[in-house]
Structure 1
Amino acid sequence: MDIDCLPFKQTGYFSDLFCDYIDDKEELRPFYNRFPSIEGFKEQIEEKLANYPEANRSILYDALQEQYKGVPISKSTREHLIQLKEPITFTVVTGHQLNLFTGPLYFLYKIISTINLTIALKKAYPRFNFVPIYWMATEDHDFEEINFFNFKNKKIQWNKEATGAVGRLGTKDLKGIYGTFAKELGGGTNADALKDLFRKAYLEHSTLAEATRYLANELFGPYGLVIVDGDNERLKRLLAPYVKRDILDKVTFKNVSETISKLKQLPESYGIQVNPREINYFYIKGPLRERIVQTKDKFQVFNTDIQFNREELSKELENHPERFSPNVITRPLYQEIILPNLCYIGGGGELAYWLELRSAFEAMDVTFPILLPRNSALVLTVKQQKKLDKMDISVADLFLSRNHFINKKIREISNINIDFSPQKDTLKEQFKGMYEIASQTDASFLGAVKAQEVKQLKGLDALENRLLKAQKRKLKDHVERMTSLQNELFPGQSLQERHLNFSELYLEYGEGLIPILMKDLDPLKIDFAILRH
């Protein structure tokens, strides 16, 4: 692939907070531990080495052995599982929801960034081992966010009544979805491979967590990816002391609220991604997953009759730690407690809420990881690149809003000048003289002069817009081809990676897709990548 890069700021699709973070803006430095550079990992390794209980490694290993029981794994994954028991081994983590058939394309980019960073770290620090981790968000209950994927501008959706943790959902009723998807795929080697992958994942596994593990393992097992399911009694037992302190003393609520207050005081007026609750844990049992709330001296499971006093809550935590499920604010703490982790890789929204958490980690005496943005990319096929070349459209043009994109190109290809900027400048110069005359004769006329200037400038704007519309009609065919290509590459006027499912690219590139992306995406090159093949 040919690779170009575009600064994130120039794309128009990323927040000011995200762009300022990757620019290492000084005002944001109190909200994270170390900047994501290869050099920064030296001190991160030393800190995690001193602050991670070695006893946790055996518990982690045993839990993963249990989770991988009956799952065929690659030699690389097996080696990584064994290495996790060694004190010289560290992890790099990304997390993602259990979206149907991986959901948006950036699922792949997250995991590829994670794997490639472990490879880069091994080269820089050869005496240590580095294991890529995919943390499955099995305890989420937002079924509507994960029950579909887009394929060729169609929404393939799993319709069912669902409550509780999505990882526990049964997959029996996905046979109809398989039939719909198979029909849309049609025939051919690559289409048949996708059908086989979907069928084995969802029709041969009984829960969504098992299906997602199979799918991620099939796609990335050859690269040694290790998949962790936090919905596990052994792992929750490590979390339990922190849960108890958090619920009883409101540690996370107090610290994150204070951090949010500091973020709001910054001059840039960043939006707040997530607000903490006084209690940031759910109670999970069977199909139930409901918030824990405090009412006077009792702890109530919302929408149920289940309640505990302080002593009963402590006993429940001791006997059944698996029944306490972290929310979006406390899940990061959970993963950093159980893993010898150095870095979390996520998208802009994720990093925004991670920046709220550092003080809570410090209060709990848990090392805060380095935060690295995942790779972002636009993939162009040979056919699409030929269309761009034929219409003399740059990739940067495609990132413009629809109106700006069309107007810019119409001006460029028109045989007349549709830019009235020189006329507007001339008009402004003429009015300078009129302002001078008015100020020397009767200053009360200055307002009238100003009103006339505004009126005439608006008139020029109106003429310019009418001329543009006329040219658009005249060049209708060209405009349609331009907008069709932009729609193809930015479906729904959104980034390709946020809309497209990987299956569409797999139809084009087949089993070579992931190796191509692995080769061309550099996790430490923090720019938007343009990939041509």
Structure 2
Amino acid sequence: MRLEIVSQTRNQPLAEDYIENYVKVSEFYEYNPWDQGEWERRASDLTRAWCGARSGEHAASEEAGAVDGHSHGCTAAVAAKTAPRADRSALVSALTAYNSRVGNAAAAMDAIEQLRDRESLVVTGGQQAGLFGGPLYNVYKAVTVIQAAREASRQLNRTVIPVYWIAGEDHDWDEVNHLFYLNNDVKIRKVKIDAPKPYIRTSVSRLVLDETAWLKALEQLDESLIDSEHKRGLMKKLQEITSSSATLTDAFAQLMAWLFGHHGLVLIDSDDPAIRAIEAPMFAALIDQNKAVNDTLVHSDSMLRASGYKPQADVSANGANLFMFNKSGRVLLQRENEMFLDKKGKHSYSKQQLLELAEEQPTLFSNNVMTRPLMQEFLFPVLATVLGNAEIAYWGLTKRAFHELDMQMPILLPRLEFTLMDNTIHKYMNHYQLSFDDTKNRFESWRNEWLAQQDDIAYQDRFAEIREKLAAEYHQLIELVEAINPSLRTLGETNLERIDEQIRYYESKTSEAKEHKYEAELRRLDLIASSLMPLSKPQERGYNVIAYINRFGTNWIDELVDNPIPVDGQHRIYYV
């Protein structure tokens, strides 16, 4: 496996400083990810927090109960003030049921059982449930979670379990209902799946798709994917997945289980009813301390702005940071005096009413971007969480919210970033001496400069010279004619404009002829750009994984998992 680190611009100043200059932003985060001592401190903090918390959990023993026989202080741990924590036994049962339903591998099921060890830790990361896996960065986030968990387990000599959080509670259908890839005509193709009708704005995990929608999406893929040795098996696998999937979340989970289950990756759907039941105490805490939690977010927003950063997420003084489900779908709550209202003002609740609903019907509730990190901390002993740059930035708002609930923000790890480079693209780039940096940041200007350099007769200079000479001589003619009849000056200038227009038209047709002459080479250059920066986006954000599995199989993904790669926030070219 060949990897090459390349320079990058993150376009997110807070994340840039977090990765490159942590001290500068340490007031917004809890632990320095680049200091091994901080990992040990986080592990100790979690031991105290989870050993001090019970939350209805029936431990087999009041001792440490470490599966591997090692003790890391759970017996002696004393939590002076402990936040509510999930019932691990119930969590294991819920995860076992869900992962079994989506066909996860034995290694993942074994990892779930390891959660019974009250000293086990987890590394998390996740994303929305995109069509057929969503953008490539979903895959890279899973790779990072597994890599980070494995390395942390080695460094700390503790069980560390990789967990992928599928944001099935999210309602942004238009963000997850499509994918892009290079088709068999070497053009960017979009495949989109139709929403169920009637459509309501609810969580993706609650939108049930019919067989026709799945078949239509599969047909689009089958028609335009490049023929390869892997295509038949891939399409068969996708048909198996979709035939047993009621929702996008179901299909996404089965795909991730296929790709990563044998590496021990545990999956969780944030909208799983069994998980919601476990979350009831945390929803109660978020309701009971709602204003105090939101006040910390507003304060952090002000602090970030004062430090010169633009907050990545919007917070408001009356934000409740929770959604509720009703007949209209997933609706954001707001606080008004002592009441909670949905955004449209159609429903209102007192705090007591919400507390009762949280206990009796927790599936009515859902987290927003600010409370999801808090809920994750309630559910799991999160050693670290893997995030993209934008996520690192908005998590910077939450440190004081964690503290308000007697919790601590976990270690934040930037996910691994890759650009896949095949032999053909690499050969073309070498031939044209086109760098990855030029392709990423200034391709159009580079392309135009290259084409101009192919002009062996310098026709653009000749056209400019002729226009200049003609204009000079014609203006002299206009001056002479004006002496005969001043009214003819305007006619002369208009005539010159028409002549210049015709010369420019002739020049444009010359340019077209030249492009036609170099059409094959320009197609190669455009293929480079389409492969590495589709739609002017980084490859990992523009393309889906399916086309790459179709071309290369799944071994390249296993290689990313099996070969240790430093989780250091750098971007790498992966030569496949």
Q: TM-score range by the shorter chain?
A: 0.7 to 0.9
Aligned twin of 2:163: 133
Aligned twin of 1:146: 176
Pair 479,16 (structure 1): closer, same or farther in 2 beyond 3 Å: farther
Aligned twin of 1:422: none
2:357 to 301, 316, 319: 316
- Aligned: 1:227 with 2:224: no
Aligned twin of 1:3: 3
2:543 to 491, 500, 506: 500
2:191 to 141, 146, 156: 156
Aligned twin of 1:378: 419
Aligned twin of 1:485: 528
Aligned twin of 1:45: 43
Aligned twin of 2:214: 174
Pair 360,271 (structure 1): closer, same or farther in 2 beyond 3 Å: closer
Aligned AA (2:270): G
- What pairs with 1:228-243 in structure 2 (closer than 5 Å)? 228-243=268-283
Aligned twin of 1:194: 234
Q: Which runs of 5+ in 1 are unaligned?
A: 418-465
Cα deviations across residues 490-525 of structure 1 (Å, max 9, x unaligned)? 111110101111112112211312113224572423
Give 1:388 shift: 1.2
- What pairs with 1:88-127 in structure 2 (closer than 5 Å)? 88-126=119-157
Aligned twin of 1:426: none
- Aligned: 1:15 with 2:12: yes
Give 1:202 shift: 1.7
Q: Is the 8 A contact 1:92 1:344 kept in 2?
A: yes
Cα deviations across residues 79-100 of structure 1 (Å, max 9, x unaligned)? 1011001022110011110111
- What pairs with 1:308-387 in structure 2 (closer than 5 Å)? 308-387=349-428
Give 1:322 shift: 2.1
Greater displacement, 499-508 / 50-59: 50-59
- Aligned: 1:283 with 2:324: yes
Give 1:411 shift: 9.0
- What pairs with 1:358-507 in structure 2 (closer than 5 Å)? 358-406=399-447, 481-507=524-550
Alignment partner of 2:553: what SS? Answer: helix
Pair 131,413 (structure 1): closer, same or farther in 2 beyond 3 Å: farther
CA distance in 2 between partners of 1:119 and 1:38 (Å): 17
Cα deviations across residues 320-351 of structure 1 (Å, max 9, x unaligned)? 12211111111111111101111111211111
Greater displacement, 492-501 / 277-286: 277-286
Cα deviations across residues 183-222 of structure 1 (Å, max 9, x unaligned)? 2236443111221222122222223332222111111111
Aligned AA (1:169): L
Cα deviations across residues 411-470 of structure 1 (Å, max 9, x unaligned)? 9999999xxxxxxxxxxxxxxxxxxxxxxxxxxxxxxxxxxxxxxxxxxxxxxxx9xx99
Q: Is the 8 A contact 2:171 2:203 kept in 1?
A: yes
CA distance in 2 between partners of 1:77 and 1:20 (Å): 35
Pair 408,58 (structure 1): closer, same or farther in 2 beyond 3 Å: farther
CA distance in 2 between partners of 1:4 and 1:188 (Å): 27
- What pairs with 1:209-288 in structure 2 (closer than 5 Å)? 209-248=249-288, 249-267=290-308, 269-276=309-316, 278-285=319-326, 288=329
Q: Is the 8 A contact 2:99 2:266 kept in 1?
A: no
Alignment partner of 2:123: what SS? Answer: strand
Q: Is the 8 A contact 1:171 1:202 kept in 2?
A: no
**TM-score, L = length of structure 1:** 0.82
**TM-score, L = length of structure 2:** 0.77
Give 1:302 shift: 4.2
CA distance in 1 between partners of 2:327 and 2:156 (Å): 44
CA distance in 2 between partners of 1:394 and 1:402 (Å): 10
Residues paired across the two proteins, number: 478
Q: Is the 8 A contact 2:287 2:354 kept in 1?
A: no
Larger Rg: 2
Q: Is the 8 A contact 1:104 1:500 kept in 2?
A: yes
Q: Is the 8 A contact 1:38 1:124 kept in 2?
A: no
Pair 390,344 (structure 1): closer, same or farther in 2 beyond 3 Å: same
Q: Is the 8 A contact 1:105 1:498 kept in 2?
A: yes
Aligned AA (1:8): Q
Pair 89,390 (structure 1): closer, same or farther in 2 beyond 3 Å: same
Q: RMSD of the alignment, in Å?
A: 2.9
Give 1:135 shift: 0.6
Aligned AA (2:162): P
Alignment partner of 2:325: what SS? Answer: strand
CA distance in 1 between partners of 2:266 and 2:124 (Å): 10
